[in-house]
Amino acid sequence: MTRRVEVVEDILSANDHLAAQNRERLEAAGVFSVNLMASPGAGKTSLIERTAAGLGSEMRLAVIDGDLATSLDADRAAAAGAQAVQINTGGQCHLDAAMVRRGLEELDLSQVELLLVENVGNLVCPSAFDLGTRTRVLIASVPEGDDKPFKYPGSYHSIDVVLLNKIDLLPYVAFDVKRFLHGVEVLNPSLQSFLVSCQTGEGLEAWFAWLRREVAGMRAEVVR
């Protein structure tokens, strides 16, 4: 047991070192970067498509897409107008900083202002691995149920923003929005939250506005 703990600590320490390098590289280039995490089917790729369509005319957007196999999600991001790089994890249940570094090598960061990193669909493994992004965003969805903050506290505690997607289904699904948000706020009182529907577009403008402010803030830091 002791040896296993030591190995895990070594892996996480090495990952954190690479993540710090990724962060330095991104911030030096003035790129605002987001680690998008969610369960399978919560709407990560749909959110990326909507974001590319909503902000593509205002800023240069790139996507690093992590998946177990195939390039389907990266193809969708590219079709929406984003620069897209596919990272296949070969069965690993999360992206890590080394994978993201390989993705960054394929991008011209001087031509990127907003980078969205789509992590593997999972609510457990991704939260343990820093990728070097500026912020961490978790996408929840109404069909998953309102108890997810209580069942996966580690995932919700380590994020900066939560989006509750598929709110168009609220009339048809037993989901208590107040209970969900209370669970989120107990774990992380400073968390920014958005209620959205990638299907209808409801609530997405608030998400876009937040990204605009964050990207502008990153630009200002680089100028200073």
pLDDT band at 58 (very low <50, low <70, confident <90, very high): very high
pLDDT average, residue stretch 168-189: 96
pLDDT average, residue stretch 208-224: 89
Q: How far is CA 129 from CA 35, 36, 37, 170, 214, in A?
A: 10, 12, 11, 32, 23
pLDDT band at 168 (very low <50, low <70, confident <90, very high): very high
In this model, does residue 185 exceed pLDDT 90? yes
In this model, does residue 7 exceed pLDDT 50? no
> What pLDDT shows up at residue 2?
53
Lowest mean pLDDT among 20-29, 75-84, 156-165: 75-84
> What pLDDT shows up at residue 67?
86
Rg of the chain in Å (alpha carbons): 17
C-alpha count within 13 angstroms, C-beta hemisphere, residue 199: 10
Domains for the chain: give ranges and CATH numbers: 2-223 (3.40.50.300)
> What pLDDT shows up at residue 161?
97
| 77-135 per-position pLDDT tens digit | 889 888 899 998 888 889 999 999 999 999 999 999 999 999 998 888 898 899 999 99
- Residue 138: in which H helix or E strand, if any? strand 135-141
Burial tier of 169 (Cβ tally within 10 Å: 0-12, 13-18, 19+): middle
- 174 φ, ψ to 5°? -75, 90
| Cβ-Cβ contacts under 8 Å for 170 (sequence gap 6 or more) | 142, 177
